[in-house]
Amino acid sequence: MAENQRFSLRIPWATLLKIIAAVALVAVLVRIWYILTLIVIAIIVAVGLYPAVLWLERRRWSRSAAASVVVLTLLGLIVAFLAITWSSIMARRRTSCSISSGPSANSPRSCRSRSRKRCSG
């Protein structure tokens, strides 16, 4: 009796369309993930800088001038930070490169001539 029974699976068209839509949505999100990440970072930075802009607005600065000054100040701080720490970052890179390249390659020139994978350390 069990041999004559057949298993039948019926899937409505609405369910199939929902599955296709979900797959399409995931495909689109994968392609624009980088842009969405940039937008989220921009929103976080804007929310973080808003109190400084508001403070300058209360001191009779125009909103565009206040925003420009705050953004340029932030960029200046980032550049200053990189300028101050750049020498230690490069010294660390040279140290790790000479360690990974062996004791005979202490000069930066010999380190640069080796493969970048080994010297990026």
| pLDDT tens per residue, range 64-118 | 999 999 999 999 999 999 999 988 888 887 777 666 555 554 555 555 555 455 5
Provide the pLDDT for residue 9.
Answer: 86
Three-state secondary-structure class, residue 90:
helix
Q: What is the pLDDT of residue 18?
A: 96
Listed residue (74, 111, 117) closest to 91, CA to CA: 111
d(CA 67, CA 61): 10
pLDDT of residue 1: 52
Better pLDDT: 46 or 113: 46
**59 and 87 in contact (C-beta within 8 Å)?**
no
List CB contacts of 74: < 8 A, sequence separation 6 or more.
49
